[in-house]
Amino acid sequence: MKIGVLSQFPELYSTRRLVEACESRGHEALVINPINCYMNINSVKPSIHLAGAEVPQLDAVIPRIHTSVTFYGCAVVRQFEMLGVFAANDSISIARSRDKLRALQLLSRKGIGMPITGFANKPHDIPDLINMVGGPPLVIKLLEGTQGIGVVLAETRKAAESVIEAFLGLKANIMVQEFIKEANGSDIRCFVVGDKVVAAMKRQGPDGDFRSNLHLGGHGEKVRITPQERKTAVAAVKAMGLSVAGVDILRSNRGPLVLEVNSAPGIEGIEQATGIQVAEPIVEYIEKMVAARKANHQVIA
């Protein structure tokens, strides 16, 4: 097969590992920067161009769309879908997962465990908003934040009111969430491919930081997850409509709680922490899905 890895950063570990996994299984891999693509949208012969030439026909693409270019990146994935190319994660599902508020609403609709979350627009909603999530300490998050940036722990009511007022005064979109004290600054990252958790690691934040992101100095280690955590991770991915995703889970007194579903999870941290190769199962999944599509088309024909 000819597989496109949609990534702005060919030098990144995740991109290189996906290329290696494709080639090790006998496929041709092309790294394509989605931002440099431009599209011919018509009803006869739509196409995608790059550097003055039409992108060759692909069997599948693996989207690695950066959060800063979600809108255009999803448009490029959608164009590939129009051309009959299989996408490991489709454009609609990527867009769903990137909208943090919508993602939580989808998890809520499916009855998947999650921290109590409040969302408001007007400053006079603040006192009730704080009470809604159980009072301080509580976590305040920018909807547009990534990798732990734009996440604040407010330990008192006064601090919570001040931070919320400041964010709302800047016209920022924020969420307010209950603080899960028993998590002790750690979470579980489950790497899901299809309907399986192929690897899981525990991420622990540095001393004094409640955020466990590896980019902020946290460290990861292999962990054995419970059947309930495995079920929760797979259910969260299905709720988004994704096929390849990282699910961040907090261990709470009331069971696993989903913090976030990431449609372009990093590969380096989890492979190094667990010793498990996660790029290969992605390519295996693509092989299975492309073969099933071809078989289905033959039956229809």
179 is in an annotated binding site: yes
248 is in an annotated binding site: yes
Query: How far does CA 70 lie from the centroid of its chain?
Result: 12
Q: What is the largest CA-CA distance in the chain?
A: 67
Residue 32 CA to residue 16 CA, distance in Å, equals: 12
H/E run at residue 191: strand 186-193
Residue 292 neighbours by CB under 8 Å, 6+ apart: none
71 is in an annotated binding site: no
212 is in an annotated binding site: yes
195 is in an annotated binding site: no
121 is in an annotated binding site: no
287 is in an annotated binding site: no
Residue 40 CA to residue 175 CA, distance in Å, equals: 39
260 is in an annotated binding site: yes
Residue 38 CA to residue 50 CA, distance in Å, equals: 7
211 is in an annotated binding site: yes
262 is in an annotated binding site: yes
Residue 285 CA to residue 118 CA, distance in Å, equals: 37
Residue positions in the annotated binding site?
141, 178-179, 187, 211-213, 248, 260, 262
Residue positions in the annotated binding site for ATP?
141, 178-179, 187, 211-213
Residue positions in the annotated binding site for Mn(2+)?
248, 260, 262
